[in-house]
């Protein structure tokens, strides 16, 4: 049992996405990144990622799903590097710690304390619903986890804000659609050959003779992602942007559509290639929102978050899984 094993259990490489989910709304609400409060909120978001994703890994192993999955035999809970008992003690103690810290943050910061606590409670209970079985028992499992992380983004916002505005509403919807695609399309695509309820299989997707055939699932993927991009158009209308922002957004949108074609068409099945595409899609979708919001959250702050996130992701992938862009999960 080593720190690398724990880092694998916590799926630490994707922490930048969770951090942005909390910190960007915090900045939209009026928070300051380069302050002790900003650092505390960033560290809190990092811990939220570790213990929530650690809880997902723990419950998937305890339920037997990861044990039966041929792609996860190297995971620390599956190969015995970390025992289930020790993982339970660490992960659940961490979740309790997060609850205490969320109350402290709500009390100390100037936002809407009631909504901060409500949003965090809903984040926890819907996250538990997903992790404790709904992720495998129903094709609608993406609903609670999407709600869970939307609540987490509102938590970050209400730490410093007292009222909702139209811009933040657009951001929450954007996050929701991005998460919906990530969980219900990319996540189920990754597990198309394994057990458990799978929305894409329900929509006719399958791997046959080494070829992926999307069926109606391809149209579903396009529908969700196009709605996601329409919301970014709405957000652009709420923000006074410069030419550079428009150009960068254009490149990211083209990249997203290119990846979307790759994820939704008939093709030779190569799971490693799919994982790379999924990683790039998540990065591009998340960073598209940050780029659009640069005039509001601050250019320096946004660039620091994006560059730091890429460096962190690459380094953690290398340490955890021995790869650069494709986590072995």
pLDDT tens sequence across 164-175 = 999 999 999 999
Closest Cα partner for 303 from 285, 312, 290?
290
pLDDT tens sequence across 111-160 = 999 999 999 999 999 999 999 999 889 999 999 999 999 999 999 999 99
Could you please report the per-residue DSSP string of 26-44? HHHTT--SSSHHHHHHHHH
In the chain, what are the domain boundaries?
Answer: 3-321
Residue 108's pLDDT is 96
**Average per-residue pLDDT for the chain:** 93
CA dihedral for 326, 311, 309, 261, sign (positive or negative): negative
pLDDT of 325 > 70? The answer is no
pLDDT tens sequence across 49-108 = 999 999 999 999 888 778 887 878 888 998 888 999 999 999 999 999 999 999 999 999
pLDDT tens sequence across 169-214 = 999 999 999 999 999 999 999 999 887 899 999 999 999 999 999 9
Averaged pLDDT, 222-235 = 96
Distance of alpha carbon 175 from alpha carbon 272, whole angstroms = 26
> What is each CA distance from 100 to 18, 73, 94, in whole angstroms?
19, 34, 10
Strand partners, 319: none
Instruction: Please answer whether residues 292 and 232 qualify as being in contact, where contact means their C-beta atoms are separated by less than 8 angstroms.
Output: yes
Q: Which residues contact 22 (CB under 8 A, 6 or more apart)?
A: 41, 42, 44, 45, 48, 152, 153, 155, 156
Residue 327's pLDDT is 61
pLDDT tens sequence across 290-317 = 999 999 999 999 999 999 999 999 899 8
Q: How confident is the model at residue 242 (pLDDT cuts 50, 70, 90)?
A: confident
Instruction: Please answer whether residues 108 and 57 qualify as being in contact, where contact means their C-beta atoms are separated by less than 8 angstroms.
Output: no
pLDDT tens sequence across 244-275 = 899 999 999 999 999 999 999 999 999 989 99
3-class state of residue 268 by DSSP:
strand
Residue 128's pLDDT is 96
Helical H runs in the chain? 3-9, 15-28, 36-62, 65-68, 84-108, 113-129, 135-137, 142-158, 166-181, 188-190, 199-202, 217-238, 243-264, 271-292, 294-297, 299-321
């Amino acid at each position: 049992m080593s720190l690398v094993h724990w880092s694998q259990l916590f799926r630490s490489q994707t922490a930048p996405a969770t951090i942005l989910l909390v910190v960007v709304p915090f900045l939209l609400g009026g928070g300051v990144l380069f302050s002790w409060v900003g650092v505390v909120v960033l560290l809190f978001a990092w811990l939220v990622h570790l213990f929530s994703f650690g809880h997902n890994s723990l419950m998937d192993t305890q339920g037997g799903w990861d044990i039966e999955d041929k792609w996860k035999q190297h995971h620390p809970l599956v190969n015995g590097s970390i025992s289930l008992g020790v993982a339970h003690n660490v992960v659940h103690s961490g979740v309790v710690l997060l609850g205490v810290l969320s109350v402290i943050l709500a009390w100390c910061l100037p936002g809407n304390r009631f909504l901060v606590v409500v949003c965090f409670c809903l984040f926890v209970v819907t996250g538990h619903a997903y992790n404790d079985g709904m992720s495998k028992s129903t094709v609608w499992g993406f609903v609670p986890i999407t709600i869970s992380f939307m609540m987490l983004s509102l938590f970050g916002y209400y730490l410093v804000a007292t009222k909702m505005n139209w811009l933040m509403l657009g951001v929450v919807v954007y996050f929701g659609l991005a998460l919906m695609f990530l969980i219900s399309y990319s996540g189920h695509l990754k597990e198309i050959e394994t057990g458990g309820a799978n929305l894409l299989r329900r929509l006719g997707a399958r791997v046959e003779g080494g070829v992926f055939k999307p069926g109606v699932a391809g149209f579903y993927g396009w529908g969700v992602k196009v709605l996601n991009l329409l919301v970014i158009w709405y957000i652009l209308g709420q923000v006074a942007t410069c030419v550079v922002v428009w150009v960068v957004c254009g490149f990211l949108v083209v990249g997203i559509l290119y990846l979307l074609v790759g994820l939704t068409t008939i093709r030779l099945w190569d799971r490693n290639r799919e994982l790379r595409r999924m990683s790039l899609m998540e990065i591009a979708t998340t960073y598209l929102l940050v780029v659009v919001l640069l005039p509001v959250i601050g250019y320096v702050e946004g660039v620091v978050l994006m560059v730091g996130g890429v460096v962190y992701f690459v380094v953690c992938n290398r340490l955890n899984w021995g790869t650069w862009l494709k986590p072995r999960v």
